[in-house]
Amino acid sequence: MTMGRQVDLDKVGACASSVCAVHCLITGVAYGLLSIVGLDFLGSTAADIAFLAIAVLVGGFAVVMGYRRHRSLLPATIFATGLALVVLSHFVLGHRHDDHHDHSHLLTTVLAVIGGLTLVGFHFLNSRLHRRIR
């Protein structure tokens, strides 16, 4: 894979991770509104799995290609942390859309958004380290 493709991979990953963070925020804060506008499927487990699969695939390739180029484990560590936060919030603690005043609901939403933003940060750092090598 060439350098140009790696940079594109990080751009795609940063965009996808941003969408993931926004998805987590919207489903955590305004889940009821999603059903009104016909987007309640965004709060489904299938949507969560789809976003996670995209993050793992794009981020995994970016980690491998980035490490081959810049030899830094810091991006991989940030990537793993972001994924862990998203998995923890969605699949271990679980989003509960029925009670929006529950403190555990707030915690899962905050962890999910932080996880998504951490993934965005991973892609920016990975891309920056990649450009330094040129």
**Secondary structure of 39-92 in HEC code, one letter for each residue:** CHHHHCHHHHHHHHHHHHHHHHHHHHHHHHHHCCCHHHHHHHHHHHHHHHHHHH
Tens digit of pLDDT for each residue in 43-71?
A: 778 888 888 898 999 999 999 999 999 99
Q: What is the DSSP letter of 95?
A: -
Q: What is the pLDDT of residue 103?
A: 59
Higher-pLDDT residue of 64 and 12 is 64
Q: What is the pLDDT of residue 32?
A: 66
Q: What is the pLDDT of residue 71?
A: 94
Q: What is the pLDDT of residue 51?
A: 84
Higher-pLDDT residue of 2 and 23 is 23
Question: Binning pLDDT at 50, 70 and 90, where does residue 115 land?
Answer: very high
Task: Say how many Å lie between the first and final Cα of the chain, rounded.
Answer: 15
Task: Say whether pTM exceeds 0.85.
Answer: no
